[in-house]
């Protein structure tokens, strides 16, 4: 099962923030994240808002096709911080 999402990232720091990854609380899996822009990178510039895309693979699938998957998703930064959000995904 592939989980794909878009999320707005706000950098309120006085330095650039590097997106290191994404993970689910349950099941415990990690995925990839990157900034959506013309020059894709993993850096959120100082005092800016960026759209980020992420994908996570879950095997075996935890839901059946057509069901909604509610998950706690953490965006990881270079400092080891975990920024948690509750997100719902429709399994298509």
- Kindly state the percentage of the chain with pLDDT values over 90: 78
pLDDT of residue 17: 93
State the pTM of this model: 0.85
Report pLDDT digits (tens) over 35-62. Answer: 876 566 778 989 999 999 999 999 999 9
pLDDT mean over 74-90: 94
| Rounded Cα gap, residues 27 and 30, in angstroms | 9
Calculate the alpha carbon distances from 33 to 10, 29, 47, 52 in Å: 14, 13, 19, 7
**What single string gives the DSSP state of each residue in 8-76?**
EEE--SSS-EEEEEEEESSS--EEEEEE-SSS--SEE-TT-EEEEEEEEE-SS-SS-TT-EEEEEEEEE
Domain 2-90: which topology?
A: Immunoglobulin-like (2.60.40)
């Amino acid at each position: 099962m592939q989980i794909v999402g878009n999320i707005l990232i706000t950098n309120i720091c006085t330095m650039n923030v590097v997106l290191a990854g994404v993970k689910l609380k349950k099941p415990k899996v990690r995925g990839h994240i990157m900034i959506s822009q013309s020059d894709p990178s993993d850096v959120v510039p100082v005092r800016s808002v960026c759209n980020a895309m992420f994908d996570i693979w879950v095997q075996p699938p935890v839901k059946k096709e057509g069901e909604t998957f509610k998950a706690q998703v953490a965006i990881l930064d270079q400092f080891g911080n975990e920024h948690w959000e509750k997100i719902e995904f429709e399994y298509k």
